[in-house]
Amino acid sequence: MSGKGEMEPVGKIFETRELNVNMGPQHPATHGVLRLVLDIDGETIVKVTPYVGYLHRGIEKLGESMSYFQALPLTDRMDYVSAMSNNIGYCVAVEKLYGIEVPERAKFIRTIAGEMSRIANHLLWLATHALDIGAMTVFLYCFREREWILDLYEMICGARLTVTYPRVGGVRNDVQQEFLESLWKFTDEFPSRILEYETLIDQNRIWLLRTKGIGVISAEEAVNWGMTGPTLRGSGVPYDIRKFMPYDAYDKVDFEVPIGTVGDTYDRYRCRMLEMRQSNNIIRQCIEKLPAGPVMADAPKFTMQPKDKMMPITHPTKQHAFFIKEKACKGCGMCLRACPAKAIFGEKKKPHAIKQDMCLGCATCYVTCKFKALVIVPAGKGLSDEKLAELAEAPVPEEITKASEYLVRQFEFVKKGPKVPEGEIYVATEVPKGELGFYFVSDGSAKPYRMRVRAPSFVHAGCLPRLCAGHLVADVIANIGTIDIVLGECDR
Amino acid sequence: MDIIWSVISPAQLDAFVKFCINVLIIILKIVVVLAVGLLHVAYATYFERKVIGHMQVRLGPMRVGPHGLLQPFADGIKLFFKEDIIPAKADKTLFYLAPVIFMASAMVNLSVIPYSQNFIIADLNVGLLFIFAMAGVGVYGIFISGWASNSKYAFIGGLRSSAQVISYEIAMGLSLVGVMMMAGSLNLSDIVRAQQESVFGIYAIPQIVAFIVFTISATAEVNRTPFDLPEAESELVAGYFTEYSSFRFALFFLGEYIAMFIMASLCAVCFLGGWSLPWYITKYVPFINYVPGVVWYLVKVYAFIFFYYWIRATVPRYRYDQLMAVGWKILIPLALANILVTGLVKILV
């Protein structure tokens, strides 16, 4: 005690130390494998240090060893909660790099898919955020609707979580009328379901106590920290890429960007709740305006051709035989090595032959052969080699010729990928969590020289120490929830 | 026979036999209460899972037995056969002791609760005080387990829990002072009898403030939502029993559910008239008198337990400082004011 009657802090008298608690990477509330090292003084946070990287799978590096369209399924694995949006983000970026235009219908379908993913993501966010704060019932209510959306995903593409439905140049397949009707029913029902969640927590005193004034961040500071998405909009910055740099069909639909005022956890919660309503609205508009037409860009050089064009050759019921012309075969052994069924026999420098009863009819040898020694005999299997040799001399039907052209092109496309011009490009899209940017450096080959993903979760996780400073232990949980991170995307 | 008579007189033998019968009856009562108590815990978990399940648009346990009725036994067997893991750096003696203290202090309360007019194991004159004292002992179990586990999560959980239980015990104790003043006794059976004779039949009406304070602090006392901070799974994984597994974990679980039962019983006895019904009901629906008192007692207890479950499915969790603020700044002043008003009314009326 000093003589002037001023009390010294208790900590100084007893020389107390902060308790160092390791939260995660395995912890029920860190939304994956986030590890936080907390220095706590009683219940008060002195310092928070986030450690990321426990889910690092090297997606960016993997992308460099694949052609552009091959890396698409990797993006599913980044933000697995809203895979659809990640796919769209990637496709939009690659399309810009290729310089191809997506057909109108595909744009609308993608917008629908993207907004469905936004709703699904926000539902999961609300579910876990509420569960972290202790409201258990909201969790299950939200999952009920999320399940519905995943069922709808299943209707469009057969997958529920890692969809890979949007493709470079459009979408994988067209949607059915049945799907649109089901989705319409969902959009009819959904606003009342949002009300249900709000009844549980929106005006709940405990919820307000736990979220108001927690993790407050001013608009300026939020921008400086690089926050995006609802996390930024909660602070009152109306920045939304869908409005400012519209992609897909966002310039053709009418929607608002909800913003908060204070920038606390409650504002961000409100923003996301309102966003779900807007998304619902966008889906309805898209269904109403959905134009007819193709769903894949007409750019054979850059897009995967539909498989039915190759059907005359590869379909198992057609049963075409493959035959090696003795005269043309140089005995290079390419087909021998490529054959998955090991049905090709022969010695080096001597003509090879196919054992017909072992042949799968996959046409791998056909596309491998550089000397056009392989021919497709439209006769079916079970013929003798002599008969085949005889038939092989006959002119090939036009149907087969056309299909085989496609087949070769497809093979080249998959094996090598389309070449892109040299240069670099950064394309951002608005995924549910914020701004997802893809940055490509192209050296003129078919694979990116460098692929970089600007993941909103990573940026937001970096802001955690700022948000948590001076709060209590329980607020750390609220803050992890409010920035809406998925570690798959954060670590990549 | 002569040998016996030379040692003991017939009167003494008579007294001895009577004593033996009394002891036997008490043992029988204890067995009944223990069996029913443990069965209650088993089915309270089932009840909780079912109730919350239906509130959350799902079914709850359905697989083991018809409608999952055998689920509690399956859980119990599973817990019994699980590996008992003790952290390497734990304080072993205390680690063993903690769950025992916790459960014993909860279970011993079963002996002073009047289940029916004549069914009470120990009709203590200070029954209410006894329950408080035992709740106080239970805190040692919590705190020791938090300390002995040598885990930071358990430690924080233990700290939180002891702080919480101690501060809410004050509010709860003060809220019951009003009841004691009205009944003029600490004996739980006497409190019920006093209620039977009172104007309203139950103390929940004249002591409405105390009733509310008691309900809230009882929830906090047994660490249930929205006051389940000690075991807030999103922050502390499982709080003070994070490191416990197998049957030691089951002991904590058991203790917690029995504590819940005790709190519900206390509420039923002190505020809702225990085994009796208010006179204005029995007067107009006379045949209701044929229903045994224990039924009314259980109805009240389970209504209160249902209320716990309902709360759990509805509200989020308080933060530590908010919880303390509610306890010290709202509940304790309210309870004190209630005592004052009760005293004034007693003097004036």
Q: What is the pLDDT of residues A14-30, one digit of tens each?
A: 667 777 888 878 777 77
Which residue among B52, B160, B316 places its CB closest to the CB of A130? B316
| B159: nearest CA partner in chain A | A42
What residues in chain B have per-residue pLDDT under 70?
1, 230-238
Q: What average pLDDT does this structure show over A101-107? A: 89
* Predicted local distance difference test score (pLDDT) of residue B136: 82
Closest CA to B158 of B177, B179, B138: B138
A35 phi and psi angles, rounded to 5 deg: -115, 125
Are β-strands A321-324 and A353-354 bridged in parallel, bridged antiparallel, or unpaired? Answer: unpaired
Residue contact A141–B321, C-beta within 8 A: no
The pLDDT tens digits of the residues spanning A106-162 come to 989 999 999 999 999 999 999 888 888 888 888 888 888 999 999 999 888 888 888
Would an 8 Å CB–CB cutoff place B235 in contact with chain A?
yes
Contacts 24+ apart (CB under 8 A), A237-246: A240/A430, A241/A428, A241/A429, A241/A430, A241/A435, A242/A430, A245/A428
Q: Would you say the C-alpha torsion A77, A81, A83, A85 has a positive or negative sign? A: negative
Residue A3 has pLDDT above 50, yes or no: no
Average pLDDT, chain A: 83
Beta bridge partners of A166: A171
- Name the residue facing B317 among A133, A139, A473 (closest C-beta): A133
Lowest average pLDDT, out of A71-80, A320-329, B194-203, goes to A320-329
In angstroms, the CA B235 to CA B56 distance is 23
CB–CB of A478/A133 below 8 Å? Answer: yes
Residue A420 has pLDDT above 70, yes or no: yes
The mean per-residue pLDDT over the stretch A242-269 comes to 87
Give the closest of A28, A200, A475 to B319, CB-based: A475
- Say if residue A1's pLDDT is above 70: no
Of A204, A7, A24, A482, nearest in space to B225 by CA: A204
**By the 8 A CB rule, do B300 and B211 touch?**
no
Given this model, what pLDDT does residue B114 score? Answer: 86
Chain A CB contacts of B153 below 8 Å: 21
pLDDT of the residue at A11: 56
- For A441-469, write each residue's pLDDT tens digit: 988 888 888 888 998 988 988 888 888 88
- For residue A112, the distance in angstroms to the closest alpha carbon of chain B comes to 28
Contact list in B for residue A130 (CB cut-off 8 A) is 316
Interface test with B, best of A133, A203, A265 (most B CBs within 10 A): A133
Quote the minimal CA–CA distance from A137 to chain B in Å: 6
pLDDT of residue A381: 62
Collapse the DSSP code of B92 into the 3-class scheme (helix H, G, I; strand E, B; otherwise coil) and give the result: helix
Q: Do A134 and B315 touch (CB under 8 A)?
A: yes
Residue B195 in tokens: 């209620």
B316/A133 Cβ within 8 A:
yes
Residue A51 pLDDT exceeds 50: yes
Determine contact: B314 vs chain A, CB below 8 A.
yes
DSSP class of residue A434 equals E
Mean pLDDT of A461-488: 85
Q: Where are the beta strands (DSSP E) in B180-264?
A: none
Q: Is the pLDDT reported for residue A5 higher than 60?
A: no
Distance linking the first and last C-alpha atoms of chain A: 54
Chain A / chain B CB contacts < 8 angstroms = 85
- Show residues of chain B in contact with A474, CB under 8 Å: 229, 232, 235, 317, 319-320
Arithmetic mean of pLDDT, A179-207: 88
Give A-chain residues touching B317 at CB under 8 angstroms: 133-134, 206, 210, 474
What is the separation, in whole angstroms, between the first and last Cα of chain B? 65
The whole-number pLDDT of residue A19 equals 79
Separation of alpha carbons B307 and B260, rounded Å:
11
Those of residues 229-268 in A touching chain B at CB distance below 8 A are none
Handedness of CA A311, A316, A320, A326 (dihedral sign): positive
CA A383 to chain centre: 48
Residue A28 and residue B225: Cβ atoms within 8 Å?
no
Among B310, B138, B128, B328, residue whose Cα is nearest residue B219: B310
Structure tokens at B63: 């697989």
B323 to chain A: closest CA residue: A206
> Which residue from A432, A439, A423, A451 is spatially nearest to A93, judged by alpha carbons?
A439
pLDDT at position A119 is 92
Share of chain A above pLDDT 70, in %: 91
Is the CB of A474 inside 8 Å of chain B's CB atoms? yes
Asked if residue A165 lies in contact with residue A159, where contact means CB atoms within 8 angstroms, the answer is: yes
How many secondary structure helices (H) and strands (E) does chain B include? 14, 0
- Cβ–Cβ contact B319 with A under 8 A: yes
Report whether B141 contacts B122 (CB < 8 A): no
Contact B315 A206 (CB under 8 A): yes
Residue A311 confidence (pLDDT) above 80: no
Q: How many CB atoms lie within 10 A of CB A20?
A: 12
Mean pLDDT lowest for which of A26-40, A113-127, A477-491? A26-40
Q: What is the DSSP string of A312-370?
A: HHH-TTT-PEEEE-TTT-----HHHHH-TT--EE--TTS--EE-TTT-----HHHHH-S
Residue A67 confidence class, pLDDT cut points 50, 70, 90: confident
Nearest chain B alpha carbon to A38 = B152
**Helix axes B152-183 and B127-148, enclosed angle (nearest 10):** 170
Are B235 and A476 within 8 A, CB to CB? yes
Show the CA angle centred on residue A210, arms to residues A51 and A465, nearest 5°: 25
How high is the pLDDT of residue A316? 57
Taking the Cβ of residue B129 and every Cβ of chain A, the question of whether any pair is shorter than 8 Å is answered with: no
